[in-house]
Amino acid sequence: MRLSCEYNTEMVTVVLKFLGTQICQTHTLRQAQLLRPRMLRWVSTLDYSMDQGQKEKQLLHGMLQKKKEHFKESGQILLKDIKETRDKVKEKMEEIIERENVLTIPNLLCISRIVMSPFLGYFILQSEYHLALGLFVFAGVSDLLDGWIARNFESQASKIGSFLDPMADKVLIATLFGALTFMDLIPVYLTGAIITRDLLLVAAAFCVRYKSLPPPRTLSRYFDVTHATAQLSPTAISKWNTGMQLVLVATTLAAPVFGYVDHPVLHVMWYATASTTLASAVSYIVSRNTYKFLKPRK
């Protein structure tokens, strides 16, 4: 009887455990079915949030890129404005500092020699050697006088005079040699050598002017004679050469007047002048002190 009761008790326990397990499984399935829609909604919400995050990230990247490009353009515009302002200020400062008076007596004498040159050439071509000789003597005296005034009176010295004085000499000499060669009083080779050297020196002077002119380089500033940017210094042999040329011209002009045309001394002077012309050209090539750029005064 006791064994039967114990067996029944065990059976009841097993049945209860089985029923409990079934009930738990059934409850779990029901709970899962109830939670499934919520899980699906949460997953879809999560996907939507990820899509929104990606879109916001792309939008933020695009905004940053636009800001970067705008900042770059603004920087370039600012740099351009700074450069233009700097050039304008620099130009104004140079105009204030380096402007000088060009209406000095030496400069006016140089201009007078340039103006006299065509008249000298005309008198020679018309065989008016007396008039040509007198006018040439006046030009020579003015050449000596302008140099003396510029050296002894500081108020009469100017940087533009270092360009203007040799320019006037070259115009005068080229005109005289050309006219005398046309009249068969000076050989062609000598005139050709002198004019070639002078043209090269004039071209070099224009190059020096361009290099010494600070930006902005405009035509108005380039040809503004009151804006000094460089100073020329002739070599010693070049000064001797100029003197030889002037002596030769004076002697040749006096030859028809005093009747010693084609004198042997004139031939010697031709060769001497040609030699000094060649030597002066070489001196300008090898020398480094023939010009200097002017720096603004502080």
Render pLDDT for 90-149 as a digit per residue (tens, 0 to 9): 665 555 445 556 778 888 888 999 999 999 999 999 999 999 999 999 998 888 888 888
Average the pLDDT over 204-217 and give the result: 81
Q: Is the pLDDT score of 269 beyond 60?
A: yes
Question: Sorting pLDDT into bands at 50, 70 and 90, what band is 26?
Answer: low
| Cα(121)–Cα(135) distance, integer angstroms | 11
pLDDT of residue 100: 57
pLDDT of residue 32: 54
pLDDT of residue 154: 76
Exposure string (b/e) for 146-180, b if CB count within 10 Å is 16 or more? beebbeeeeebebbbbbbbbbbbbbbbbbbbbbbb
Q: Is the pLDDT score of 4 beyond 50?
A: no
Pick the residue with more confidence: 146 or 73? Answer: 146
Pick the residue with more confidence: 3 or 215? Answer: 215
Class of the domain covering 103-293: mainly alpha
pLDDT of residue 236: 86
* Tokens 């209860």 belong to residue: 16
State the greatest distance between any 2 C-alpha atoms of the chain, in Å, as a whole number.
182
Q: How far apart are the first and last CA of the chain?
A: 132
Q: What is the pTM of this model?
A: 0.60
pLDDT of residue 130: 92
Q: Is the pLDDT score of 248 beyond 50?
A: yes
Q: Is the pLDDT score of 229 beyond 70?
A: yes
Q: What is the mean pLDDT of the chain?
A: 77
Average the pLDDT over 13-39 and give the result: 55
Render pLDDT for 149-162 as a digit per residue (tens, 0 to 9): 888 887 777 767 77
Q: Where are the domains of the chain?
A: 49-98, 103-293
| Nearest of 206, 212, 170, 165 to residue 191 by alpha carbon | 170
pLDDT of residue 30: 60
Render pLDDT for 58-71 as a digit per residue (tens, 0 to 9): 666 667 677 667 76
